[in-house]
Amino acid sequence: MASYIIRRILQGIIVLLAVSMICFIIFRYMGDPVLTLAGKYATFEQIQEVRESFGLDKPMLEQYLRFVWNALHGNFGVSYVSRVPALDLILERLPATVELATTAIGIAFILGTFLGVIVSLKPFAIRNKVIMAGSLGGISMPTFLTGILLIMIFGVYLGVLPPYGRGETVQVGFWRTGLLTLDGIRHIILPALTLAGFQLAVILRLTRAGMREVLTQEYIKTAWAKGLPPKKVIFKHALRNVLIPVITITGLQFGELIAFSIVTETIFQWPGMGNLLLTSMFESDQPVIVTYIMLAALVIISINILVDIIYAFLNPKIRYD
Amino acid sequence: MFKRLAFLMCLLLALAWSSQALAASKLVVAVDSPPRTLNPHGSDADSNLSFMANFFDGLLQRVGDQGALKPALAVKFEHPDLKTWKFYLREGVTFHNGNPFTAEDVKFTFERLSDPQVSEFINTGQSIESIEIIDDYTVVIRTKKPIPWFANNMHQIFIMDKESTEAREPGEVGLKPIGTGAYKLEEWVKGSYVRLQANKDYWEGAPDLENIEVRPIKEPSTRFAALVSGQTDIVSGVPVELYSKIVDNPKLSIISRPARRSVFLALGNNPGSPVSDIRVRKAMYMAINEGEIIEKIMRGHAAPAAQIPDPPTIGYNPDIQRLDYDPDQARELLAEAGYADGFEITLTGPNDRYVQDEKIAEAVAKYLAKVGIDVKLDVKPKSIFFPEVFDGSLDFYLIGWFDGTFDMGRTYFKLIHSRDKEGGFGSLNGANFSDPTIDILLEATADIVDRDVRKQVLQDVNKIAMTDKIAVIPLHYQEDLYAVQKGKNIDFTPRPDRWMVYKEISR
């Protein structure tokens, strides 16, 4: 078992190194930060001076090794644009993204399973056919379109919800939350719905398929025959068994929502990490971009390793030894 | 069912009710880009200087819709010889932290400009030979070479407090600005808003509006939604596509003013290439239907340009005329030059920098195709495009320009003087345009300081470059569009540099 865990962790480190190398190289070719840093009127000589000052004149390999060395010490470099440590910049935006992703996944999970159950009970009722068709829309509609439509309907024509931003926020320790004020909650509704759209459709369809299968099984028939109330049969006996794969998928989607809610954050001017990533790309702020991608990779790889280890515990056949 | 519907309605109403109207002494403004840093020298982009101008003051300032140069932290200045500038400083001014403003702060500020770690103004910083403090309120700055436009630039070099800037980390300085400006920073939540609070002790008197909230909203349609839903009082950077929607809205008024930025096509003239022939350059100029570009692509929100500088700039020459759109004559000129069958050229340009930049480039390619020139389009993000301009590896590209100093000299040295690493000229001459006459004339203007003589000489150079040599093909001046909520008595006049200076706004 120990050797399995060590192997998985070593593999994870190799993947991380590969990711760091690839994004380091790619973003070297995505614009030259020195030109902005030197100012519009800099001469060729001054541009060279700035390049040296930031250590960007050194060979690529040397720059990369220095980056890895510093990263190992928890130092991901300083943003070229704001001259603040890149990691701090990203962590400052973390609460907004986590709150948005959590709310979205919460909405998607509760609504998705609920609707999934309803649809599975009477699959051929007109209402349920409409719900299924709607879920197809949820899967195929791009986020930016959903977002803009929601803004236009609720923000502009009805004027009931604010179309952008995070609203009033409260600082609780290091965490700046928008979920404790009414204004903050009003602001999160539209972006969370936008982000939830796709996930909701996936969860709904997954729940429905699972329920359809489980409802035909013997033990459900027994439960009905025993004369148990429908609520108990559906939610306790059937749904519980269906939820296992649904929760697995939801968990995986959650990681992705946190790492890549860029489009939704941009449309709603949500001050989260995705928004920062996009701004940084426009400004060729490499330390921030590379740190962000490294962090995202770290989170996703850790989740995967954890899942693998848990599987190995549960199923001894997977272990290498 | 009805119960549920009623509940939903109640919920919506409750949500609507809680969206209270904005407080009266407060102004909410939406702009198109967030501040990159609040270190006043950390970015030379106008979108950033626009924030800085509220927290800080320069030695001089630009006022009004023509950008007139007026005293600020310096009450007056003298220019005793070509390289010397003597500034007499204002007495009794204090920084936001209570420190008095003196000559020490000016010296510190100008020395800081040369540090690439904290400044994007190293060009200005390194042009200075020495800074001498005569007394607490008199400073003499000597430049290495004569710089006729030195004082013209003093509105964007913001003076920092020596003591508090030296005592703090550079990162901290970029987060909490301490200046002498009309507004203090109340709170900056990155990505959400910057809140400003009036500086009651401001040397010009406390500003009219007490609280300002600036919200950067990058997505144009969201900016529009914020305005229409009444969440913001002023929006800068209204996209031309949405112009008619705002005009139709009775609650909003739109303010437009000619922008200083001109958009033009830079064209190389490498010997032996078709474009080194002046007839070909003329033909390309005449083949482009600028009237149609303004009408169809810019939706009327642009004015035709015949040169790079705009009217308030020294060197703008009202006598320069555009060549008329005439595809037939363009074809004749091409035939005369031996290119009746056309030739191939690549048109490069940014797609995220200027108003409708990509569409303009597409249109130009189509117009040139009509006279037989085969244009390959190569449009890309500005972060990739501008390095190519610096490299000088292009043939033909779309770019825009305006000069904060209101002096054409600096612009032409950058854009159309031959690339010259030693002299530091032509670093933005990305297509390697080179003409010895223009080079000599430009270099001769470098030490002309007398305003009238300078104006005359620059106008002549401009005419030669634009008319005789067709150094570039000018297209149009952009128009800046702002939208304001009606019925709130907001008194707002846009500035030529697009800065939002809140002490100039009242209600």
Smallest CA–CA distance, residue A31 to chain B, in Å, is 5
Q: Is the ipTM beyond the 0.85 threshold?
A: no
CA A186, A188, A191, A195 dihedral sign is negative
How many domains does the structure of chain A reveal?
A: 1
Tell me what pLDDT residue B474 has: 96
Residue A86 counted as domain residue: no
The tens digit of pLDDT for each residue in A196-224 reads 988 899 999 999 999 999 989 999 999 99
The pLDDT tens digits for B203-228 are 999 999 999 999 999 888 888 888 88
Q: Under an 8 A CB cutoff, do B383 and A282 touch?
A: yes
**What was the pLDDT predicted at A235?**
87
Residue B339: predicted pLDDT: 93
Q: Which pair of structure tokens corresponds to residue B397? A: 């590209």
H or E element at residue B366: helix B357-370
Query: Which helix (H) or strand (E) covers residue A170, if one does?
Result: strand A170-172
- Cβ burial of B203 (10 Å; 0-12, 13-18, 19+) is middle
**A-chain residues within 8 Å CB-CB of B19?**
159-160, 162, 186
* Residue B142, both tokens: 């000597």
Give the other-Cβ count within 10 Å of B72's Cβ: 24
Instruction: Measure the CA–CA gap between B145 and B84, rounded to whole angstroms.
Output: 10
The pLDDT of residue B16 is above 80: no
Structure tokens at B369: 């195709």
Q: Please identify which residue in the block is written with the tokens 């101008």.
A: B53
Q: Residue B22 has what pLDDT?
A: 46
Question: Which tokens in the block code for residue B426?
Answer: 């032509």
pLDDT in the model for residue B13: 53
Structure-block tokens of residue A210: 């699972």
SS3 state at A105: helix
Which residues in chain A are closer than 8 Å to B193, comparing Cβ atoms? Answer: 165
Distance from CA of B47 to the nearest CA of A (A): 13
A-chain residues within 8 Å CB-CB of B153? none
Q: A interface mutation test: which of B190, B380, B382, B414 has the most A CBs within 10 A?
A: B190
Q: Using an 8 Å Cβ cutoff, are A287 and A76 in contact? A: yes
Which segments of chain A does DSSP mark as H helices, in order? 2-28, 33-38, 44-53, 60-72, 86-121, 126-140, 143-150, 182-215, 218-225, 230-231, 240-259, 262-267, 273-282, 286-314
Are B450 and B428 in contact, with CB atoms under 8 Å apart? no
Nearest chain B alpha carbon to A29: B384
**B15 pLDDT more than 60:** no
Q: Which residues of A touch B237 (CB under 8 A)?
A: none
With contact defined as beta carbons under 8 Å apart, do B68 and B62 qualify? yes
Q: Is the pLDDT of residue A47 over 80?
A: yes
> CA–CA separation, B339 vs B280, rounded Å?
8
**Long-range contacts made by residues A202-205, C-beta under 8 angstroms, separation at least 24?**
A202/A108, A202/A112, A202/A139, A202/A249, A202/A253, A203/A108, A203/A109, A203/A112, A203/A113, A203/A116, A203/A246, A203/A249, A203/A250, A204/A111, A204/A112, A204/A113, A204/A115, A204/A116, A204/A119, A204/A131, A204/A135, A204/A138, A205/A116, A205/A135
Q: What is the mean pLDDT of residues B476-490?
A: 91
Residue entry with tokens 């000619």: B258
Query: To 5 degrees, how large is the angle CA B233–CA B235–CA B237?
Result: 175
B171:A166 CB<8 A:
no
Phi, psi of B150 (to 5 degrees): -55, -50
- Per-residue tokens: A180: 């404790």
| Chain B environment of A164 (Cβ under 8 Å) | 217, 222, 225-226, 231
Average pLDDT along chain A: 87
Q: To probe the interface with A, which of B219, B241, B412 has the most A CB atoms within 10 Å?
A: B219
Share of chain B above pLDDT 90, in %: 72
- Rounded to whole angstroms, how far apart are CA atoms B82 and B143? 9
Q: In this predicted structure, what is the pLDDT of residue B350?
A: 94
Question: Per the domain annotation, does A146 fall within a domain?
Answer: yes
Is the pLDDT higher at A115 or at A81? A115
Distance, in angstroms, between A76 CA and closest chain B CA?
15
Residue B199 scores a pLDDT above 60: yes
Is the confidence at residue B20, as pLDDT, over 50?
no
Chain B residues closer than 8 Å to A39 by CB: 44, 119-123
Query: Is the CB of B219 less than 8 angstroms away from the CB of A266?
Result: yes
Give the separation between CA A107 and CA A101, rounded to whole angstroms: 10
The residue with tokens 């880009």 is B33
- Residue pLDDT, tens place only, B106-120: 999 999 999 988 999
Q: What digits encode the pLDDT tens for the residues B409-460?
A: 989 999 999 998 888 899 899 999 999 999 999 999 988 888 899 999 999 9
Average of per-residue pLDDT across A296-310 = 82
Asked if residue A269 lies in contact with residue A261, where contact means CB atoms within 8 angstroms, the answer is: no
Q: What pLDDT was estimated at residue B18? A: 45
Task: Say how far apart CA A7 and CA B378 lie, in whole Å.
Answer: 47
What whole-number distance in Å separates Cα of residue A278 and Cα of residue A263?
9
In chain B, the residue whose alpha carbon lies closest to the alpha carbon of A181 is B18
The predicted structure's pLDDT at residue B21: 42
Tell me the per-residue pLDDT of B245-298, one tens digit each, with 9 for 90 and over. Answer: 888 889 899 998 888 999 999 999 999 899 999 999 999 999 999 999 999 999
At B205, the amino acid letter reads: G
B241: left (phi over 0), alpha (psi -120 to 50) or beta: alpha
Judge whether A142 lies within some domain.
yes
Q: Dihedral angle at the C-alpha atoms of B434, B439, B440, B443, nearest 10 degrees? A: -160
- Say which range, A250-264, B161-175, B478-492, has the weakest mean pLDDT: A250-264
Distance, CA of A128 to CA of A208 (rounded, Å): 11
Angle of CA points B126, B437, B144, to nearest 5°: 15
Residue A57 pLDDT exceeds 80: yes
Q: End-to-end alpha-carbon separation of chain A, Å?
A: 7
* Closest by Cβ to A43, choosing from B119, B174, B424: B424
C-alpha B482/C-alpha B253 separation (Å) is 9
Whether A111 and A105 have beta carbons less than 8 Å apart is answered as: no
Tell me, what's the pLDDT at B12? 56
Task: Assess if residue A80 is contained within a domain.
Answer: no
User: How far is residue B388's CA from residue B390's CA, in Å, rounded to a whole number?
Assistant: 5
The reply to whether residue A151 touches residue B225, judged by beta carbons under 8 angstroms, is yes
The helix/strand/coil state of B200 is coil
Q: Taking CA A251 as the corner, what is the angle to CA A150 and CA A175, rounded to the nearest 5 degrees? A: 70
* pLDDT given for residue B211 in this prediction: 95
Task: Search chain B and give the residue with CA nearest A278.
Answer: B218
- The DSSP output letter for B325 is P
A84 with B175: Cβ contact below 8 A: yes
pLDDT reported for residue B24: 57
Half-sphere exposure of A203 (CA within 13 A, CB side): 29
> Which DSSP letter does residue B40 get?
T
The pLDDT score that the predictor gives to residue B19 is 43
What would the mean pLDDT of B488-500 be, rounded to a whole number?
Answer: 91
3-class DSSP assignment, residue B26: strand
Q: What residue of A is the nearest CA neighbor of B381?
A: A282
pLDDT of residue A321: 55
User: What pLDDT was estimated at residue A26?
Assistant: 81
Residue among B392, B323, B472, B407 nearest B151 (CA): B407
Of A196, A38, A32, A266, the C-alpha closest to B116 is A38
Q: How confident is the model at residue B4 (pLDDT cuts 50, 70, 90)?
A: low
Contact B116 A43 (CB under 8 A): no
SS3 B314: strand
pLDDT tens digits, one per residue of A74-113? 888 888 888 889 999 999 999 999 999 999 999 999 999 9
Q: Which of helix, strand or coil describes residue B201?
A: coil
pLDDT given at position B9: 59
Q: Does B175 sit within 8 Å of A35, measured CB to CB?
A: no
Are residues B116 and A54, on separate chains, in Cβ contact within 8 Å? yes
Which chain A residues are Cβ-neighbours of B245 within 8 angstroms?
Answer: none
Compute the distance between CA of residue B295 and CA of residue B309 in angstroms, rounded to an integer.
22
Q: A145: which chain B residues are within 8 Å (Cβ-Cβ)? A: none
Q: Binning pLDDT at 50, 70 and 90, where does residue B3 land?
A: low
Asked if residue A172 belongs to a domain, the reply is: yes
Mean pLDDT, range A234-258, rounded to an integer: 83
Residue A293 lies inside a defined structural domain of this protein: no
Let me know if residue A154 belongs to a domain: yes
pLDDT tens digits, B323-367: 999 999 999 999 999 999 989 999 999 998 899 999 999 999 999
CB-count exposure of residue A241 (10 Å: 0-12, 13-18, 19+): middle
Element of type H or E holding B303 = strand B302-304
The residues that bridge with B478 in the sheet, in sequence order, are B302
Residue B46 has pLDDT above 80, yes or no: yes
The amino acid present at B144, given as its one-letter code, is K
A247: CATH: 1.10.3720.10
Q: Which domains are seen in chain B, by residue range? A: 28-233+488-504 (3.40.190.10), 259-478 (3.10.105.10)
**How does the average pLDDT of chain B come out, rounded?**
91
> Residue A167 is part of which domain span?
92-278
**What would the pLDDT profile of B134-153 be if each residue is shown by its tens digit?**
999 999 999 998 898 899 99
For residue B389, CA distances in Å to B125, B349, B415 come to 24, 10, 10
